[in-house]
């Protein structure tokens, strides 16, 4: 029985070991352990009661806060109802005030509408105008004026309306003036420099013989990255002029954004167009150079031969071996006793010997005239293939890119025709010289044979 009691106590001690590890380790006997357990129960009961009391106090406090929150909510709901009613009353008052304002304004309301549209148009014109490069800040009051005329609580004054008229009139006056003023200019290399700028109406800005560009977004005046060719001299003359009339190139679309000047400076030069032809264009150019050199060489050569043949015609009795006709006459003089048939064959052989030297290079000129257009067609076909490949990759959404690619492809065709036409003309000229010499040789040969036949 005692052993059983000991086991029960051991199990109880094991169950209470978590909450009382220190007490269980200090117990010396079972009686001492029981006393310690009894004391622990008493202590825990007191702690539980204290916790319960604290919880009840917190619960009462939370109930009080909840009651206060409900009261606050009710008060705010009543306040919200009052504010909503005030808003409705104010809306009714605003409607009445608007009706009263519209009734008092009468035709002025329509006037303000027209003024608002006019102010918007003038603001757009002044923003884009090159006059703003000289007179900045002209659109600030227009923004305020449009805001006043569009507001329900503000009205423009007579001074504001007069200032609108003044700015429009000043823009008209400035469009007919040529003035000079100092302004910081952004150079093409990124540096800034103070320059004397010439403004021609609302069309163009110039400085130091250069055309300038005004950016409405940034308010900067900058040098054009590429100047229009052939007009810089007139721009310099205009800047140096003091009075009288001076010729200068102007962009009539300047007040609308300067599209004509922009298109002019973006137009490629002849050298740039030549580079558009690529490798095929370079080959065509090389062939053309060969044709020119060959034609010049053959023309000079045949001109000299023609002069010598003409000199030989004036002295038929003496055969000069330095020209083709002299060599042909030398054959006739070397065979005086031949029969006409044999003499004719001898002379024909002599003329045949002279023909290659006289007609040398003519076939090459003719071939170049025929091949040049074919090379141009080759360049066009290859360029179109590249253009269609770009369309396949990037689509056909940009007509300018397509037109640029097609125009570059057609450059080789133009180059081919430019080479072929002069080459044909040069071949005709040189061939005419050669045929004239050959005709004289054949004519003199026929005359010698006819003279031999008559002598018999």
Distance CA 130, CA 220 (A): 11
- Segment of 144-148, 185-189, 290-294, 346-350 carrying the highest mean pLDDT: 290-294
pLDDT (0 to 100) of residue 254: 76
Whole-prediction pTM: 0.56
- Segment of 37-46, 64-73, 235-244 carrying the highest mean pLDDT: 64-73
Average pLDDT over residues 344-350: 87
pLDDT (0 to 100) of residue 334: 83
* Residue 437 near residue 305 (C-beta atoms within 8 A): yes
Pick from 311, 337, 339: which is nearest to 325 by CA? 311
* pLDDT tens per residue across span 94-146: 888 777 767 766 666 777 778 888 888 888 888 888 888 888 888 888 888 88
pLDDT (0 to 100) of residue 42: 62
Alpha helices in 241-323 (DSSP H): 259-266, 270-276, 278-314
* pLDDT tens per residue across span 19-30: 444 444 455 677
* Residue 383 near residue 279 (C-beta atoms within 8 A): no
Q: Which residues contact 144 (CB under 8 A, 6 or more apart)?
A: 160
Q: Which of 323-332, 409-418, 446-455 has the lowest mean pLDDT?
A: 446-455
> What integer best gives the mean pLDDT of the chain?
82
With pLDDT > 70 as the criterion, what percentage of the chain qualifies? 86
With pLDDT > 90 as the criterion, what percentage of the chain qualifies? 19
pLDDT (0 to 100) of residue 429: 94
User: Which DSSP category does 320 fall into?
Assistant: -
* pLDDT tens per residue across span 194-243: 999 999 888 888 888 888 888 888 888 888 877 777 677 778 888 888 77
pLDDT (0 to 100) of residue 105: 64
Helix/strand/coil (H, E, C) string of 35-66? Answer: HHHHHHHHHHHHHHHHHHHHHHHHHHHHHHHH
């Amino acid at each position: 029985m005692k052993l059983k009691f000991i086991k029960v106590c051991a199990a109880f001690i094991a169950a209470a070991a978590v909450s009382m590890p220190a007490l269980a380790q200090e117990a010396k006997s079972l009686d001492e352990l029981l006393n310690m357990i009894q004391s622990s129960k008493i202590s825990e009961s007191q702690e539980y009661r204290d916790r319960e009391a604290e919880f009840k106090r917190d619960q009462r406090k939370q109930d009080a806060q909840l009651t206060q929150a409900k009261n606050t909510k009710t008060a705010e709901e009543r306040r919200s109802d009052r504010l909503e009613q005030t808003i409705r009353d104010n809306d009714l008052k605003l409607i009445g005030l608007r009706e009263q304002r519209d009734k008092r304004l009468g035709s002025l309301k329509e006037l303000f509408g027209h003024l608002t549209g006019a102010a918007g148009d003038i603001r757009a014109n002044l923003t884009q105008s090159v006059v703003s490069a000289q007179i900045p800040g002209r659109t600030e009051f227009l923004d305020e004026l449009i805001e006043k005329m569009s507001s329900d609580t503000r009205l423009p004054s007579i001074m504001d309306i007069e200032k609108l008229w003044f700015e429009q009139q000043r823009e008209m006056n400035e469009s007919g003036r040529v003035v000079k003023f100092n302004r910081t200019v952004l150079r093409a290399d990124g540096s800034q420099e103070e320059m004397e700028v010439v403004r021609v109406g609302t069309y163009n800005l110039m400085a130091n013989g250069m055309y300038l560009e005004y950016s409405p977004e940034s308010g900067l005046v900058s040098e054009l990255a590429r100047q229009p060719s052939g007009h810089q001299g007139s721009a310099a003359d205009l800047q140096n002029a003091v009075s009288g009339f001076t010729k200068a190139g102007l962009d009539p679309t300047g007040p609308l954004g300067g599209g004509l000047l922009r298109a002019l400076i973006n137009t490629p030069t002849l050298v740039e167009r030549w580079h558009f032809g690529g490798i095929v264009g370079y080959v065509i150019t090389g062939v053309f150079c060969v044709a020119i050199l060959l034609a010049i060489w053959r023309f000079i050569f045949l001109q000299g031969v023609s002069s010598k043949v003409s000199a030989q015609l004036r002295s038929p009795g003496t055969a000069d071996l330095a020209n083709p006709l002299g060599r042909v006459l030398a054959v006739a003089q070397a065979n005086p006793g031949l029969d006409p048939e044999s003499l004719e064959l001898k002379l024909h052989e002599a003329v045949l010997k002279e023909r290659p030297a006289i007609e040398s290079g003519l076939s090459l000129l003719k071939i170049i005239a025929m091949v040049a257009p074919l090379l141009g067609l080759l360049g066009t076909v290859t360029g179109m293939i590249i253009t269609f490949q770009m369309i396949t990759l990037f689509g056909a959404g940009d007509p300018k890119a397509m037109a640029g690619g097609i125009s570059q492809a057609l450059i080789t065709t133009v180059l081919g025709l430019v080479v072929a036409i002069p080459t044909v003309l040069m071949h005709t000229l040189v061939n005419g010289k050669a045929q004239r010499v050959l005709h004289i040789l054949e004519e003199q040969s026929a005359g010698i044979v006819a003279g031999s036949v008559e002598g018999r």
